Structure 1
Amino acid sequence: MAQGENENIIPINIEEEMRGAYIDYSMSVIVSRALPDVRDGLKPVHRRILFGMQELGVLHNKSYKKSARIVGEVLGKYHPHGDSAVYETMVRMAQPWSLRYPMVDGQGNFGSVDGDNPAAMRYTEARLKRIAEELLVDINKETVDFQFNFDDSLKEPIVLPAKVPALLLNGASGIAVGMATNMAPHNLGEVIDGIVAYIDDNEITVEGLMEHIIAPDFPTGGIIYGYNGVKAAFETGRGRVVMRGKANVEIKDGGNKEMIVITEIPYMVNKASMVEKTAALINEKKIDGISAIRDESDRSGMRIVYELKRDAISSVVLNNLYKHTQLQTSFSVNNVALVKGRPHTLNLKDMIVHYVNHRHEVVIRRTEYELREAEKRAHILQGYLIALDHLDEVISLIRSSADPETARNGLIEKFDLSEIQARAILDMRLQRLTGMERDKIINEYKEIMALIDELNEILASEEKRMEIIKGELAEMRARYADDRRTEIEHNAEDFSYEDMIPNEEVIITVSHEGYVKRTALTEYRTQGRGGVGSRGVSTKQDDFTEYLFTASTHNYLLIFTDKGKLFWLKTYAIPEGSKTSKGRPIQNLISIEQDDKIRSIIQVADLNDQDYLNNHFLVMVTKKGVIKKTTLEQYSRPRTNGIIALNIREDDQLVNVEMTNGSQHIVIAAKSGRAIHFNESAVRPMGRTATGVRAIRLNDDNDYVIGMVCASEENATLLVVSEKGYGKRSKLDEYRITNRGGKGVKAMSVTEKTGTLVAIKEVVESDDLMIINKSGITIRISVDGLRVMGRATQGVRLIKVGENDEISSVEKISKEEEIEVIEDATVITDENPEASSDEPSTDESEDSSEEGNETND
């Protein structure tokens, strides 16, 4: 070794050098080769091909150009890799069985679904598809960033403006270092509907988006078998989608033999290879019942015929084909894409969010560019108008100037013009000085100023920008949307236990001791008012039915206890029982303490509908007259052991919970027969664990709240019931509105005969009432049998109550279409002497509207 040579040798640790070099290589493959960008859905080679073809001018309405010329353009300017890689990529972009929406319009042999190789690039020709040009629209308006190419001689776009969401439309596949991507194609119409739904409601869930984007839509059609994999892919970004070819059973001429005819095959399956392998399996006796195979595919479409033997069962043979051949395959979804240069696994909503954000940025940058150009033009037109207003002076100044520079400086100095305006005036042709041309300049200036105002409005309003995006998407939908090709066929795995349960109305009963059951609504019959009832519940000694209501089997039940805890339970999870059965202890279903007791049950159909959750409230009232209002959203995340719904003091307990829309009338009744009526707006929303504020001032320590009504309309009708079986209907407007925290007004004239107040309900004439006493006797009566009476009356008898018995619960239920009336039921009519007078009490002096004070929040 010559002296001085080892001065250029730097000793390094080979392990560290290889680690660093491999990381650099990995990142290069990940970022610059294998993974698509989430914004335009393209890998660098696809982006360069499309941009290169546009720069070359091979648009959809221009002549085809040799593929070799296009490949050379892309290689020489943007993509310093092998020519075969570029050509193969371009070929795939032209194959309608590879891409759901091909980006290249190929002429010549571009391969086939049988796996035939395309012709050499010197023979084929290509040009851009119109939909591909939509990805490049506005690229010359500074809408995206550019970077230098490999030799810094040209610039290429980092990302395309992407007027269509190519990532969702065509998917992508690629193997990087340590990761891979495999994204499914979708239907353009469905995707755009989903994007518009997201723009309209940013809080939409993946499940909500799936109402628009149903499933992947593969270029070769076929059938998606089972939906669980699709759902997993949409929700998590990973899932296994099972695909099947589309098969029909036909009768051969003569009617003695059947044929299985395949007209569509799974995505990315080589048709010729599938037929060959099927023939091999038949020869090996692994598939039986097929006598002949023919590929009858032609220009009109695909047709693979499997002739069956005379004794073959077509369904059995078809299932064997699904099991042993590529007639059934799977597509493993792995939605990995680059987000700000880093690989991320994305669910359906993530991809839509990133696309909309990208389009939003494109619209902003395009508007800013157009505004700059409009302002430049307006500036020049202002100069023209100044010159035209002083035409003789301008001409005189120009004629007297020795050279253009002198004239320019003279114009700037005399008319306060900019250099740009002065130069434009000097460059103006003489024909622009005519009257007609003057009018054109004035009109153009007005149009430009109107455009500037419009562009400024767009930049000032995100809502306008989103409307522009929606409008452009609607344009793309109208131009390119087509019918779904891939059908969806559900399998047994798609159905959960809940899916097997009919969604129907049932009666839920809860006893005083905590026994619960659900019963078919048809087991309860309607009787006349005043009837003795029928035995509806078999309870143990000293137990009685306390709650009875209707519910849908698929609803969530929000169960509130007197200690202020909340538990969640699906209705179908409650064991079914007969009308006379005892039921199951509630402790077997929820983690309620032995000394705790159910106070209210609220039904909610869907705990994932954010708009519904945020616009509905739970209003709670305690025995001591404390009220609290909280958004339903704060109670929408079920937990096995329940949560604290309301912080309650030791000497108090929860009485009732109602769901409201935020603008209802609240009426709270007390045992003493008084009730307070105020607007819901008088109670502000509070946190989940807040204590609440005072709702009603009670008479004394023995008085307590017995119930609450949250009515939507002021003309609602209220029903009150006493412990001795008396009740009446009165109009809500008879309960005058007072301040929250007052004593309220008389709701019922309480006497020794009526007993104290036990229930208050909002009712309509189509309702039925289910009245239960502590001995377990129930009676169902129609509300329309009760006439509306004055607020301060004591009402009429609704049910005969034994000497040592009393009413324990009153619930309203929907009237059945066909009502079975017990003919021998004892009925007390309005003429019955035991019924009280309808004349209202005159005891109005006790009515008070004193304002209460809030307790701790």
Structure 2
Amino acid sequence: VIVARALPDVRDGLKPVQRRILYVMHEMGLRSNAPYKKSARIVGEVLGKFHPHGDMAVYEALARMAQDFTMRYPLVEGQGNFGSVDGDPPAAMRYTEARLTAMAEELLADLEKETVEWVDNFDGTLREPVVLPGKAPQLLINGASGIAVGMATNIPPHNLAEVCDALVYLIDRWEERDEVTIEDLMRFIPGPDFPTGGLILGQEGIRAAYATGHGRLVVRAVTRIEELKGGRWRIVVTELPYQVNKAALIERIAELVREGRIDDIADLRDESDRHGLSIVIELKRGARPQTVLNQLLKFTPLQTTFGVQMLALVDGQPRVLSLKRILQLFVEHRIQVVTRRTQYDLEKAKARAHILEGLRIALQFLDEVIALIRNAPDAETAKVQLMGRFGLTEIQAQAILDMPLRRLAALERQRLEEEYQGLTARITDLEALLADPRKILGVIREELQSLKDKYADPRRTHILPEATAEFAVEDLIPDEPALVLLSHRGYVKRVPVTAYRPQGRGGRGVTGMTTDEDDAVAGVFACRTLDYLFFFTDQGRAYRIRAYEVPDADRAARGLPIVNLINLMEGERITAAVAVSPAWIEEAGGNGGDRYLVMATRQGKIKRVPLSEFLTTRSAGLVAIGLEEGDVLQDVCLSDGAGDLLLVTAQGQALRFEEAEVRPMGRTAAGVRGIRLEEGDFVVALDRFDPEGELLVVTARGFGKRTPLSQYPQKGRATGGVRTIADRLEEIGEIAAARVVRPEEDVVLLTANGMAIRIPVAEIPQAGRSARGSRLIALGESDRLASLARIRLEAS
């Protein structure tokens, strides 16, 4: 069972039954471009000639080699039902048909050139190969699994291009192969590549498996969360872990719902088709999709463990092998195959050259040869006389006697001479190849490169950097610009910046967020999907999540209640938000120079807190500022502690002062006076001064302008500032938002009723501080401008 049934040979990566099936199909002429033949015919040939075991055992092995969800690079091309990822068995062998794939032909190439050893079959009437020449590294690219007596093998599939690159690297350093490390090889082979895709969590298990032959991989399905109409969500599974039965998985999820262990699933459907796998899990209204997904990962095979046991036969003995040892043994096998193939070709070339030498002599003395043959009483006498007269061997003399008359034509004589010259050069090349082991390695290298060029395909399985129970989702999230939108009643959503195409100023815009009659849009701000989002509330508390945790929604969607993401207190609402790049968070955590969160209240207070004070997270949030009775945290910006700050009020005042005038404080402090306000005025915006920027102010009625920051002189903190817009506020409305912008950027304006417009900053008229500005967006009768976001398309 160990040697003759369950374990693969390290050289060709095949078990005996697989090798015999491929050899029989090769003998039957079932090439990749030949017609199919019934599987029953193939199984019968295998049973009768080489493998006297059960017919179903042979057919199951044949079917597995045809399954693209089992083999990374199938060796059999099937026609008919060969099973499915649902666990359905193949149709009966009398119905299905099969032939070899092009990859299988690579394993069988050069078999007829005495490249491998042959043995008698079970009854001594036929010969079969002990191993296949195996041009492709089959053991690694397709893996193997088998249970023997007291031992088992479980080798995962790998990507052909990666394995070929690792083999080329090893061949290039063949003389110093002992110096090649697992880390060197893992630069080319980062881990297994399963035919069904999926995710591998972390590289520690992979490294252990490659170094020792034993390892444990955590494999997870690929899922995505999508928003449905009515504020509901669904989870779509698009890739499963290797060897997970789809039908059994769906049954397991249904069982969990019936038992009440997962309450938030409303519907479960299998929408898989010929375009790919798709399991749709619709959730009930109000369900938190990430929580449900975590439950599914914990209780179902959406996350499984793959135990690696790299056991294979080496010289007929079972051995647990490291990755390097498998690659090394494959190269050694190919050295032997190429050497034997070269010797075979050399012997054939020399034999042909020997005959051609005799024919050349005959053509040189053509008239004499013809006369000798014509006068001889029989062929045997003619052969003896030729050998005696011209010193020919028996083979050469026989070739002259067998030479057809057409060879006497001048053109044919020229072709014979060209063939002889070509053979002479080939013999020289083959002898040089056999004399130099480095040239043999060069041939193997070229063949591997050719294999890669012909069959390589992209990696299907993604490997996440760290293996944790809750994997780092950001490793799957593209780092791209996005907008986060909030409503007064606490709905939140994330949309890609590309959802809003730039428009000319003065238009109505497009729907940016759907709201109820008793709700209105509160704000919009720009971020990148991997940023950390800090939400600040009217009660002075701060909450932190990642941007990708905010559900990605359609441009016109309402979004998800933010209480599904953070635990707001009763009656608490979001009034400000800021996005912080992961690099700044990491820098603040490593004490490598701090950044600051600068906060401004509606009544003009300001404070500066080191970002490091907010690195710890609590479900109930952190106190960010101590507020006086009736005051509200209005705006927050991120700073590096240098430069100036700008405060802008609703009545059109703007104050620029040095940030150093606000000393860093603790989280619970109330701050200091930032700007002196007139009766009825309040702060609407806070931003950092940018020497190359301009101040963009927009009013509640949709008017706006940009003013060079050079027109705002530096003043002292707690002063009244300077005028930043005309006094006719009853016509254009109070200032609703303000931001420091640059001409090459875009801005998005959002109204209370959810209309949005994206405008290039350069299209907004530049005007002095006292100007009233131009109309930027056409507002409805009951609508007003709610918020402004500056889009930075570059990385934070």
Give TM-score scaled by structure 2 length.
Answer: 0.58
Q: Structure 1 residue 165: deviation in Å?
A: 0.4
One-letter code of the match for 1:401? A
Whether contact under 8 Å (2:2, 2:148) holds in the other structure is yes
Aligned-partner SS, 2:65: helix
In 2: Cα distance, 1:55 partner to 1:75 partner: 14
Deviations 1:635-654 (A, max 9, x none): xxxxxxxxxxxxxxxxxxxx
Counterpart position of 1:140: 112
User: CA shift at 1:577, angstroms?
Assistant: 13
Which sections of structure 1, spanning at least 5 residues, go unmatched? 1-28, 496-575, 579-857
Give the match's secondary structure for 2:74. coil
Distance, in Å, in 1 between the alignment partners of 2:236 and 2:591 is: 51
- Tell me, in whole angstroms, the C-alpha distance in 2 between the residues paired with 1:463 and 1:316: 58
Query: Which residue does the alignment assign to 1:210?
Result: 186
What CA distance in whole angstroms lies between the structure 1 residues aligned with 2:210 and 2:467? Answer: 20
Q: Does 1:42 align with 2:14?
A: yes
Amino acid at match of 1:116: D
Question: Matched residues in 2 for 1:114 and 1:100: separation?
Answer: 18
Report matched runs for 1:386-401 at 5 Å: 386-401=361-376
Deviations 1:180-217 (A, max 9, x none): 10100000010100110111122311110000001000
Question: How far apart in 2 are the matches of 1:36 and 1:255?
Answer: 55
Match of 1:285 among 260, 264, 275: 260
1:335-394 CA deviation, whole Å, 9 max, x = no partner?
A: 000000001000110000000000111110000000000000000000001111111111
Cα offset, 1:282, TM superposition: 1.3
Question: Per-residue deviation at 1:176?
Answer: 0.7
> 1:99 maps to what in 2?
71
Q: Deviations over 1:220-253 (max 9, x none)?
A: 101111221111111111001110000100011x
For 2:205, give the aligned amino acid. Answer: G
Q: Do the aligned residues in 2 keep the contact of 1:291 with 1:308 (CA within 8 Å)? A: yes
Matched, 1:249 2:198: no
1:423 aligns with 2:398: yes
Equivalent residue, structure 2, for 1:433? 408
Asked if structure 1 preserves the Cα contact closer than 8 Å seen for 2:313 and 2:319, the reply is: yes
Structure 2 counterpart of 1:367: 342
Query: What is the DSSP-based 3-state SS (H/G/I as helix, E as strand, rest coil) of the residue aligned with 1:329?
Result: strand
Which whole-Å CA distance do the structure 2 matches of 1:419 and 1:255 have between them?
A: 94
CA contact (8 A) 1:226 1:494 kept: no
Cα gap change, 1:444 to 1:494, in 2 (>3 Å): farther
Quote the residue 2:122 is aligned against. 150
Map 1:771-850 → 2, pairs under 5 A: none
Residue 225 (structure 1) aligned to one of 201, 205, 230:
201
Q: Aligned to 2:304, what secondary structure does the other structure show? A: strand
1:628 aligned partner: none
CA contact (8 A) 2:218 2:467 kept: no
> What SS does the aligned partner of 2:282 have?
strand
1:131 aligns with 2:106: no
1:85 paired to 2:57: yes
1:434 is matched by which residue type in structure 2? A
CA positional deviation for 1:317: 1.1
Q: Does the CA-based 8 Å contact 2:135-2:447 persist in structure 1? A: yes
Residue from 235, 240, 253 that aligns with 2:216: 240
- Tell me what 1:489 maps to: 464
Give the CA deviation at 1:435: 1.5
Residues 661-703 of structure 1: CA deviation (Å, up to 9, x unaligned): xxxxxxxxxxxxxxxxxxxxxxxxxxxxxxxxxxxxxxxxxxx
For 1:54-69, list aligned pairs within 5 A.
Answer: 54-69=26-41
Q: In the alignment, which residue of structure 2 is the partner of 1:358?
A: 333
**Secondary structure of the residue that 1:94 maps to in structure 2?**
coil
Q: Is the 8 A contact 2:154 2:307 kept in 1?
A: yes
Question: How far, CA to CA, are the matches of 1:321 and 1:129 in structure 2?
Answer: 38
Tell me the alpha carbon deviations over residues 549-578 of structure 1, each in whole angstroms, 9 at most, x when there is no partner.
Answer: xxxxxxxxxxxxxxxxxxxxxxxxxxx999
Verify: 1:402 aligned to 2:371, yes or no: no
Q: Distance in 1 between matches of 2:230 and 2:117?
A: 66
Measure, in 1, the Cα distance between the counterparts of 2:290 and 2:208.
29
Asked if 1 retains the 8 angstrom alpha-carbon contact of 2:10 and 2:313, the reply is yes
**Displacement, 1:311?**
2.4
Q: How many angstroms does 1:287 deviate by?
A: 2.1
Partners of 1:354 and 1:421 lie apart in 2 by: 43
CA contact (8 A) 2:264 2:283 kept: yes
Q: Give the Å deviation of 1:318.
A: 0.9
Q: C-alpha displacement at 1:466, in angstroms? A: 0.9
> What's the C-alpha RMSD, in Å, of the aligned pairs?
1.6
Q: For the Cα contact (< 8 Å) 2:203–2:467, is it kept in 1?
A: no
Corresponding position of 1:328: 303
Task: Report deviation, 1:255.
Answer: 4.6
Question: Residue 237 of structure 2 aligns to a residue in which SS?
Answer: strand
Task: Verify the 8 A CA contact 1:227 1:494 in the aligned structure 2.
Answer: no
Counterpart residue type for residue 288 of structure 1: D
Aligned residue identity for 1:36:
P
Structure 1 residue 122: Cα displacement: 0.6
Letter in 1 for 2:10: V
4+ long deviations beyond 2 Å: 490-495
Report the equivalent of 2:145. 173
Letter in 2 for 1:207: E
Measured against aligned partners, the alpha-carbon deviations of 1:401-435 in whole angstroms (never above 9, x if no partner) come to 11111111111111110000001000111111121
Amino acid at match of 1:284: E
Q: Which amino acid aligns with 1:182?
A: N
Does structure 2 conserve the Cα–Cα contact (< 8 Å) formed by 1:65 and 1:125? yes
The residue aligned with 1:297 is 272
For 2:235, which of 251, 260, 285 is the aligned residue?
260
CA distance in structure 1 between the partners assigned to 2:445 and 2:466 by the alignment: 36
* Residue 288 of structure 1, CA deviation: 2.9
Contact 1:139 1:161 in 2 (8 A): yes
Q: Deviations over 1:259-296 (max 9, x none)?
A: 11100001001000100011101111222321211111
For the Cα contact (< 8 Å) 2:201–2:467, is it kept in 1? no
Q: Which amino acid aligns with 1:379?
A: H
Letter of the structure 1 residue corresponding to residue 388 of structure 2 = E
Alignment partner, residue 320 of structure 2: 345
Give the 3 Å change call, closer, same or farther, for CA 249–493 of structure 1 in structure 2.
Answer: closer
User: What are the ranges of 5 or more consecutive residues in structure 2 without an aligned counterpart?
Assistant: 471-589, 593-796
Deviation of 1:492 (Å): 5.3
CA contact (8 A) 1:228 1:493 kept: no
Cα offsets for 1:591-625 (capped at 9, x unmatched)? xxxxxxxxxxxxxxxxxxxxxxxxxxxxxxxxxxx
Number of aligned residues: 469
Look up the SS of the partner of 1:288 in the other structure: coil
Structure 2 vs 1, CA of residues 275 and 74 (structure 1 numbering), >3 Å: closer, same or farther? same
1:313 Cα deviation from its structure 2 partner: 1.5
**Percentage identity across aligned positions?**
57
Query: Any conservation in 1 of the 2:201–2:468 contact (CA below 8 Å)?
Result: no
How far apart are the structure 2 equivalents of 1:395 and 1:37? 58
**Displacement after TM superposition at 1:327 (Å):** 0.3
Output the amino acid matched with 2:396.
Q
Q: Partners in 1 of 2:169 and 2:410 — Cα distance?
A: 53
In structure 1, C-alpha distance between the alignment counterparts of 2:421 and 2:467, rounded to whole Å: 67
Q: How many angstroms apart in 1 are the aligned matches of 2:216 and 2:70?
A: 19
TM-score, normalised to structure 1's length?
Answer: 0.54
Report how far residue 168 of structure 1 moved. 0.4
SS in 1 for 2:231: coil
Deviation, structure 1 residue 178: 1.1
Query: Counterpart of 1:106 in 2: which secondary structure?
Result: strand
